[in-house]
Chain A
Amino acid sequence: MTRKKKRLAVIGGGLAFLGLAAALTFYALGQRTSYFYMPGDLVAAELTPGQRIRLGGLVEKGTIERGQGTNVSFQVTDHENSVKVAYNGILPDLFREDQGVVTEGTFGTDGVFVADSVLAKHDENYMPREVADGLKAKGVWQEED
């Protein structure tokens, strides 16, 4: 191989590598991202069965039920619609009634949202951003000063 051919091969290899990485990245972005919804958005959303989404809102008052063993369920609400969420895990420390929460998982066939992760917040001043935005848009929550 001449020097020129060699250089071309190296550059070509590099470009092919980058192309492959880019293709992988965009494929993964299409496959592995999850959308965020408030309970009220679900009506309009077209969810395929088993699609992973994140569901956020407030924990509705009086709906936290501790079932057998480690199961727990509660309703997530935006004060207009509510969705029942089932979760098998340890709830975060700051998980409380009427507090913002973001859950991630899929809808079961019975319309119950089966969450595999539940995030509340890290300190008492902080509301998950998407939830805060969503509630503000619906006019049911205002930031305290």
Chain B
Amino acid sequence: MIVELGHFALVLAFALALVQSTVPLIGARSGNQRMMAVAGPVTIAGFVLTAFAFAVLTVSYIQSDFSVVNVWENSHSLKPMIYKVTGTWGNHEGSMLLWVLILAAFGALVTVFSGNLPATLRANVLAVQGMIGAAFFLFILATSNPFARLDPAPFEGRDLNPLLQDIGLAIHPPLLYLGYVGFSISFSFAVAALIDGKIDAAWARWVRPWTLAAWVFLTGGIAMGSYWAYYELGWGGFWFWDPVENASFLPWLSGTALLHSAIVMEKRSALKIWTLLLAILTFSLSLLGTFLVRSGVLTSVHAFATDPTRGVFILAILMVFIGGSLALFAIRAHLLTAGGLFQPISREGALVLNNLFLTTATATVLIGTLYPLLVEAVTGDKISVGPPFFNMTFGPLVVPLLAVVPFGPLLAWKRGDIAAVSQRLFFAFGIALLATLGAFVFIDRVSVFAALGIGLSVWLVAGAFTDLALKAGFGKVSPSVALSRLFGLPRSVFGTALAHAGLGLTTLGIVSVVTLETEKFTSMKPGETVQVADYTIRFDGISPFQGPNYTEDRGHFTFLNSAGRELGELFSSKRLYPARQMPTTEAGIRTRGLSQLYISLGDPTVDGGIVVRIWWKPLVLLIWLGGVLMMIGGTVSLLDRRLRIGAPAARRSAAVGEAKALPS
């Protein structure tokens, strides 16, 4: 019964989403209080129902209820419990349900926190959220119903794709969806403003925290996904410029641009129309990402089973929302008043420059991702645009952006003094220069790129901390005063510095792995050794191992330092999951400081050895730790009191009272 109740709850949530997308909107158009007031309770009820449906599906997975097609196709009664739970969203239907659940949750959050929003804005925003929800509920019910049933129930399930039986799956998709779907809030706000034909002052205050929250999640999702692919696929790569990766990277790039333009809008009421457009574009790119991943129109190393009919449906959703919102933008944008003026050299100007770079980079990646589709549609040729293209275009765009990042936070609003700022950054520049020279002399005399890249990374990190030091007044006032001023700084200043430093660390990790990594690809027999970077790796042999739902052949390795002392062991294996007769490669990874030794096992050779691929990846962990630091920066900034959504209720009524007392 419970399964069908979950199914029914999902249908009911769809009906509520339709009400949510119409009634408040009509209310807002006609100024009808009661109809606008419907938005809140309906949103909450929709969320409760969706959460119930999701919980039911999860329970079906936990209990191995194979009368549910989705569970039967993706689970197995012997699967470890954690993967039974994560398997709920480890497949198309379940992950779409998670998608709408997160959408409904964000809607509910807006409802809860929007007590002090103008009523019409609130009604419009929730109505637009309702429209997105209704479209995706319809998509799920029509093409990807997770509650389809089987009668009689089969005895055993078909198991989850072994590549997905990993802790990475527990974290990566939910984070990614929180990011994608989080941008729907800024989108809804943008569309609501266009419907209303005006941007309230409250509007700008709202969009930034929501964008920031979505951005934090998306950053985490991308970093997590990259790490997951790195250790699970066994190829040793952290980024492949694959369409599915680009699909998540595109909204991140434009979301980062949105984040920065929203600062200008919040602080200086400038760039209103541009911010609005970015908000629409960012969510559109999120939808595009969903479409690319689900439809299988592009060949991807990450694509799992895909279904073209679903693709057409999402394409329709995509066109309605992107087309509709852009059309609305074209018709209504002129009603919005332009904001404050500023000089080209100013904080605003720096943020505009940031936006220029980021949106151009977004466009480049978008073109590279969609170009194969375009060519195939026009000429029928099948082409692929791979890493060489992206390295050639994305690199030149991002390097100058990174180089100017430290200037931004130091420039004054409205009109800044570039010469003065350069002077203040002199110290950071010196450190970066030293790092460059040091890297060139001590680490690698061959690669100028490596040295310059390391210098650039250090420049970013040092620049970020220079900002903090200067704002606290180190050097100008006594250290103790400066220290107390440092702790008194707004959290958003810390957030900025941490996020920019995180960017520097990620750059450092990428530069280091790309230019300084060592790789050995050879065949080894038991007892043989191979030299990789400063380590000697000894192959000790292969032994079979029996896991809960797989068997594997483990290759044992010992690694020794140059003096011949044993530092540890690691094993890399070839696994077989009998339920699907599916083999996987489990890379052997050993962390030393921030660097990693990575061993991937190949096939046995004719002469009794085995093919192995061994990498020494210096500072590779920084790639993801930088991402984590960016997330922390975003979170710290989000916790800034000034950014907190709305004011406490008591203060609010007081404020309104005082406002009424103002001369009018």
Q: Do chains A and B touch in the complex (CB under 8 A)?
A: yes
A contact residues vs B (CB 8 Å cutoff): 6, 10, 14, 17-18, 21, 24-25, 28-29, 31-36, 54, 66, 69-70, 72, 88-91, 93-94, 102, 104, 119, 122-126, 128-130, 133
> Contacts A28-B392, A32-B385, A123-B163 hold; do A89 and B299 have CB atoms under 8 A apart?
no
Q: Is the CB of A24 within 8 A of B392?
A: yes
**Residue among A69, A104, A125 with the most chain B CB within 10 A?**
A69
> Interface residues of B toward A: which range?
35 or more
Option from B367, B523, B574, B611 in Cβ contact (under 8 Å) with A29: B367
Q: Is the CB of B603 within 8 A of A90?
A: yes
**Complexed CA–CA distance, A113 and B621 (Å):** 36
- With both beta carbons as reference points, the residue of chain B lying nearest to A7 in the complex is identified as B344
Q: Is the CB of A124 within 8 A of B392?
A: no
B371 part of interface (Cβ distance < 8 Å)? yes
**Complexed CA–CA distance, A125 and B297 (Å):** 16
Q: Is the CB of B301 within 8 A of A122?
A: yes
Which residues of chain B are near A91, meaning CB under 8 Å? 602-603
Q: Is the CB of A32 within 8 A of B605?
A: no
**Complexed CA–CA distance, A29 and B585 (Å):** 34
**Complexed CA–CA distance, A24 and B394 (Å):** 10
Q: Is the CB of A17 within 8 A of B605?
A: no
> Contacts A90-B603, A122-B161, A124-B580 hold; do A32 and B360 have CB atoms under 8 A apart?
no
Which residues of chain A are near B613, meaning CB under 8 Å? 89-90
Option from A25, A34, A69 in Cβ contact (under 8 Å) with B367: A25
**Complexed CA–CA distance, A127 and B178 (Å):** 30
Measured between C-beta atoms, what is the minimum distance from B371 to chain A in Å? 6
Option from A24, A28, A70 in Cβ contact (under 8 Å) with B602: A70
Which residues of chain A are near B368, meaning CB under 8 Å? 25, 29
Q: Is the CB of A102 within 8 A of B299?
A: yes
**Residue among B304, B364, B382, B582 with the most chain A CB within 10 A?**
B382
- With both beta carbons as reference points, the residue of chain A lying nearest to B235 in the complex is identified as A90
**Complexed CA–CA distance, A88 and B363 (Å):** 36
- With both beta carbons as reference points, the residue of chain B lying nearest to A126 in the complex is identified as B305
Which residues of chain A are near B304, meaning CB under 8 Å? 122-123, 125-126
Which residues of chain B are near A28, meaning CB under 8 Å? 388-389, 392-393
**Complexed CA–CA distance, A1 and B182 (Å):** 44
Measured between C-beta atoms, what is the minimum distance from B457 to chain A in Å? 23
Q: Is the CB of A18 within 8 A of B389?
A: no
Q: Is the CB of A126 within 8 A of B306?
A: yes
Q: Is the CB of A119 within 8 A of B602?
A: no
> Contacts A34-B386, A35-B383 hold; do A21 and B364 have CB atoms under 8 A apart?
yes
Which residues of chain B are near A119, meaning CB under 8 Å? 301
Q: How many A-B residue pairs have CB under 8 A?
A: 122
Judged by DSSP, the binding face of B is: mixed
Q: Is the CB of A21 within 8 A of B397?
A: yes
Which residues of chain B are near A66, meaning CB under 8 Å? 603, 605-606
Q: Is the CB of B163 within 8 A of A24?
A: no
Q: Is the CB of B371 within 8 A of A29?
A: yes
Q: Is the CB of A70 within 8 A of B611?
A: yes
Measured between C-beta atoms, what is the minimum distance from A140 to chain B in Å? 17
**Complexed CA–CA distance, A25 and B296 (Å):** 25
**Complexed CA–CA distance, A29 and B384 (Å):** 10
Measured between C-beta atoms, what is the minimum distance from A129 to chain B in Å? 5
Given A33-B385, A69-B523; 9 other pairs, CB 8 A cutoff: A24-B396, A29-B385, A33-B383, A88-B521, A90-B613, A91-B603, A93-B582, A125-B305, A126-B306
Which residues of chain B are near A18, meaning CB under 8 Å? 356, 360
Q: Is the CB of A122 within 8 A of B393?
A: no
B contact residues vs A (CB 8 Å cutoff): 161, 163, 234, 296-299, 301-306, 344, 356, 360, 363-364, 367-368, 371-372, 381-386, 388-389, 392-393, 396-397, 521-523, 574, 580-585, 600-603, 605-606, 611, 613
**Complexed CA–CA distance, A126 and B302 (Å):** 11
Option from B302, B382, B383, B583 in Cβ contact (under 8 Å) with A93: B583
Which residues of chain B are near A69, meaning CB under 8 Å? 522-523, 605, 611
Which residues of chain B are near A133, meaning CB under 8 Å? 382
Which residues of chain A are near B381, meaning CB under 8 Å? 35-36
Option from B371, B582, B611 in Cβ contact (under 8 Å) with A33: B371
Q: Is the CB of B299 within 8 A of A130?
A: yes
Measured between C-beta atoms, what is the minimum distance from A118 to chain B in Å? 11
Measured between C-beta atoms, what is the minimum distance from A69 to chain B in Å? 5
Which residues of chain B are near A10, meaning CB under 8 Å? 344
Which residues of chain A are near B296, meaning CB under 8 Å? 129
**Residue among A6, A28, A128 with the most chain B CB within 10 A?**
A28
Which residues of chain A are near B580, meaning CB under 8 Å? 123-124
> Contacts A21-B360, A122-B161 hold; do A130 and B382 have CB atoms under 8 A apart?
yes
Q: Is the CB of B522 within 8 A of A93?
A: no
Measured between C-beta atoms, what is the minimum distance from B278 to chain A in Å? 16
Measured between C-beta atoms, what is the minimum distance from B80 to chain A in Å? 19
**Residue among B298, B344, B367, B384 with the most chain A CB within 10 A?**
B384
Jot down 18 A-B pairs with beta carbons below 8 A, ordered by A: A10-B344, A18-B356, A21-B397, A25-B368, A29-B368, A29-B371, A32-B386, A33-B372, A66-B603, A70-B523, A70-B602, A70-B611, A93-B583, A93-B585, A119-B301, A122-B303, A129-B297, A129-B299
Which residues of chain A are near B356, meaning CB under 8 Å? 14, 17-18
**Complexed CA–CA distance, A130 and B243 (Å):** 15
Measured between C-beta atoms, what is the minimum distance from B398 to chain A in Å? 11
Measured between C-beta atoms, what is the minimum distance from A36 to chain B in Å? 4
**Complexed CA–CA distance, A29 and B603 (Å):** 36
Q: Is the CB of B364 within 8 A of A70?
A: no
**Complexed CA–CA distance, A81 and B571 (Å):** 41
**Complexed CA–CA distance, A102 and B364 (Å):** 26
Measured between C-beta atoms, what is the minimum distance from B349 to chain A in Å? 8
> Contacts A35-B383, A90-B613 hold; do A123 and B360 have CB atoms under 8 A apart?
no
**Complexed CA–CA distance, A94 and B613 (Å):** 18
Measured between C-beta atoms, what is the minimum distance from A53 to chain B in Å? 9
**Complexed CA–CA distance, A24 and B392 (Å):** 8
- With both beta carbons as reference points, the residue of chain B lying nearest to A69 in the complex is identified as B523
Q: Is the CB of A29 within 8 A of B163?
A: no
**Complexed CA–CA distance, A54 and B367 (Å):** 20
Q: Is the CB of A93 within 8 A of B384?
A: no
Q: Is the CB of A36 within 8 A of B383?
A: yes
Q: Is the CB of B521 within 8 A of A70?
A: yes
- With both beta carbons as reference points, the residue of chain B lying nearest to A21 in the complex is identified as B360
What are the nearest 9 A-B pairs in CB distance?
A36-B382, A90-B602, A32-B389, A32-B388, A125-B305, A28-B392, A93-B583, A123-B161, A69-B523
Measured between C-beta atoms, what is the minimum distance from A62 to chain B in Å? 16
Which residues of chain B are near A90, meaning CB under 8 Å? 234, 585, 600-603, 611, 613
Option from A6, A24, A25, A128 in Cβ contact (under 8 Å) with B299: A128
**Complexed CA–CA distance, A122 and B235 (Å):** 13
**Complexed CA–CA distance, A31 and B234 (Å):** 30
**Complexed CA–CA distance, A101 and B324 (Å):** 40
Measured between C-beta atoms, what is the minimum distance from A90 to chain B in Å? 4
